[in-house]
Structure 1
Amino acid sequence: MDLKDQLKNLFPDHEQEDIPVENEAEKDIWLQDDPIICKYEKRKGKPITILEGYTGADEDFKKLAKELKTKLSVGGSFKDNKIIIQGDYRDKIMTLLKDKGFAVKRVGG
């Protein structure tokens, strides 16, 4: 007996409503026409990947940054309208962004 059956036994008069579940990260992110620039740099001898050129709201770019960091399992930050990811993940980031519908331009190397 699962939880739904137990609740139905406790509350026989209650009618269950089906609420669609949406993915929070993919909801309401504005797609732009201009490409997002994906750069590679070294700071203090360590490689980083920088994403810049997003013209939408900062909250959407922060959601995108959080999603990229969790999917790649790496650290990073959001500063000055740029996403900074620790490590050289240009190829993976570009494929993830293209799957979401963004146009991406690779710069540097």
Structure 2
Amino acid sequence: MDLQDQLKNLFPDHVTSEEEIQETENELWMQHEPMICKFEKRNGKPQTIIEGYTGADEDFKQLAKEIKKLLSVGGSFKDEKIIIQGDYRDKIMQFLKDKGFKVKRVGG
């Protein structure tokens, strides 16, 4: 048992600075206005587009990465929009609602 483990046993409520940094990295800025989730066909291929996030671009890129990983599909982040290949509006909206975002479905 090393010194860090002994300290954790003595002070179980204490959070080290490394754990604080990891907790703040995973937090996304929540907004009051709903994000827009819509479906478009571009060049005959279906795409789901998410827009309307008012936080930092880095947070939006992180959110895009999580969505692509969840659905195992390709996509990109351009012009403050997340573009996901395929029609996954229902799954994406449920994922965003679980994260605490307000989502509005636009179109069919």
Q: TM-score, normalised by structure 1?
A: 0.80
Q: In the alignment, what sits opposite 1:76? A: 75
Which 4+ stretches in 1 moved above 3 angstroms? 17-25
Mapped to 1, the partners of 2:30 and 2:58 lie a distance apart of 13
Aligned-residue offset at 1:23: 6.6
Q: In the alignment, what sits opposite 1:15? A: 3
Task: Give the gaps of 5 or more residues in structure 1.
Answer: 1-7, 9-13
Q: In the alignment, what sits opposite 2:33? A: 34
Which one has the largest radius of gyration? 1
Aligned-residue offset at 1:28: 2.5
Bigger fraction of residues in helix: 2
Within-5 A mapping of 1:1-109 = 8=1, 14-17=2-5, 20=19, 22=22, 27-109=26-108
Mapped to 1, the partners of 2:107 and 2:69 lie a distance apart of 25
Change (3 A) 1:42 1:23: farther
**Residue deviations 1:67-94 (CA, integer Å, cap 9, x gap):** 0000100000000000000000000000
Aligned length: 96
Mapped to 1, the partners of 2:4 and 2:94 lie a distance apart of 40
Mapped to 1, the partners of 2:55 and 2:31 lie a distance apart of 7
Q: Quick one: which amino acid aligns to residue 28 of structure 1?
A: E
Report the more deviating stretch, 14-23 or 52-61: 14-23
CA RMSD of aligned residues (A): 1.9
Identity %: 68
Aligned-residue offset at 1:103: 0.1
Aligned-residue offset at 1:102: 0.1
